[in-house]
Amino acid sequence: QVQLVESGGGLVQPGGSLKLSCEIRKSIFSILAMGWYRQAPGKQRELVAVINTESESTEYGDSVKGRCTISRDNAKNTVYLQMNDLNAADTAVYYCYAAEERPTAEYAYWGQGTQVTVSS
């Protein structure tokens, strides 16, 4: 079974930084893209950042533009998210995402989520 292993979440002070990582394991087919979404209490899950495996093109959510950088190590099937200048609004559960190529369709995988809490 494909597994997305997340790490790096936790408690951080306002204005601080952290780095998340996510490794996809036991992937049978190639990974087309990886990234992060987040969901705060009472809010809809939103895009944080995604990166295309082959082209390394990136897309960021409006709420994090200029403060986050996503990167990918294709050989390790691992995606990283560097987050800077964090504030309370960034408090959410962050979910790793991977799009896998299959013979007839793409399939989306989700991590279990890692809690990021920004508080003094």
Check residue 8 and give its pLDDT: 96
Q: Does 75 or 115 have the greater pLDDT score?
A: 115
pLDDT tens-digit profile of 10-28? 999 999 999 999 999 987 7
**What is the C-alpha separation between 43 and 79, in angstroms, rounded?**
25
At 106, is the pLDDT very low, low, confident or very high (cuts 50, 70, 90)? Answer: confident
**What is the C-alpha separation between 57 and 41, in angstroms, rounded?**
30
Burial grade of 89 (CB within 10 A; 0-12, 13-18, 19 or more): exposed
In the chain, what percentage of residues exceed pLDDT 90? 78
pLDDT tens-digit profile of 49-77? 999 988 989 999 999 999 999 999 988 88
Average pLDDT over the chain reads 94
